[in-house]
Amino acid sequence: MRLHKEGIIPITVSLVLFALCLFLYFHFTSLPAFVDVLVVIALGVNPFLAIRFFRVPCRHPNLVENGVISPADGTVIAVEEKEETEYLKDRRIKISIFMSVHNVHVNFYPIDGTVEYVAYHPGKYFVAHLPKSSFDNEHNTVVVAKEDGTQVLFRQIAGFVARRIVSYPKVGDTVQQATEMGMIRFGSRVDVFLPLDAEVNVKVGDKVRTQKTVLAYL
């Protein structure tokens, strides 16, 4: 496991505050040992959560040439046919993955190909599992096209707690399946739009893992 570079500042701040609070507590108070233990545990919750949130597990990617690998850890909350109106302008199979604060929040490319479209959209912060969050919330859309022209669109969506979307791709980039493309902070969602003839491999309620779970076959 490693820590994501986006977590350097928040983790450092939380550790400094933790150390400062401990210093002030032990310098100015004299309480029973069991109280000291409880205080240390309580103060340590914030840095523990910060480190846990920005963790990046070391996984061996499940590379599948005709597969679409999950771009996020989380729970499948929707598998449905929808009109994609931002870029593809046609009907697609949409798979929505909800990421709780307990999930790994780093996102990875679902397929090999060339980045064809990237667009960030500011917005609101509704609860990420609501259908309207796909367009009303702050979101970032990326389209990757395979060599044969097959396009996969995936959308990072900020949630009620999430306040920052990090996205690295640029139009024209050649990308590889299961390599890092960004992250979303503190609870969010990723929608994946696939061709109608894709063979879906997951259902609502399934737990998926980025770099590992095959969402569908193209």
Confidence at residue 126, expressed as pLDDT on a 0 to 100 scale: 55
- What is the percent of the chain with per-residue pLDDT over 90, rounded to a whole number? 50
Over range 82-103, report the average pLDDT.
92
Residues marked as catalytic: 188
| pLDDT score of 56 | 78
Q: How confident is the model at residue 76 (pLDDT cuts 50, 70, 90)?
A: very high
Q: Which of 105, 79, 92 is nearest to 150 (CA)?
A: 92
Dihedral sign (CA 72, 77, 83, 85): negative
| pLDDT recorded at residue 188 | 81
pLDDT tens digits for range 149-196: 999 999 998 865 545 788 899 999 999 999 999 888 766 889 999 999
Q: What are the tokens at 56?
A: 């990046």
Phi and psi, residue 180, nearest 5°: -70, 135
How many whole angstroms separate alpha carbon 212 and alpha carbon 218?
16
- Contact assessment for residue 197 and residue 98, using Cβ atoms and an 8 Å cutoff: no
Structure tokens that stand for 170 in this block: 């640029």
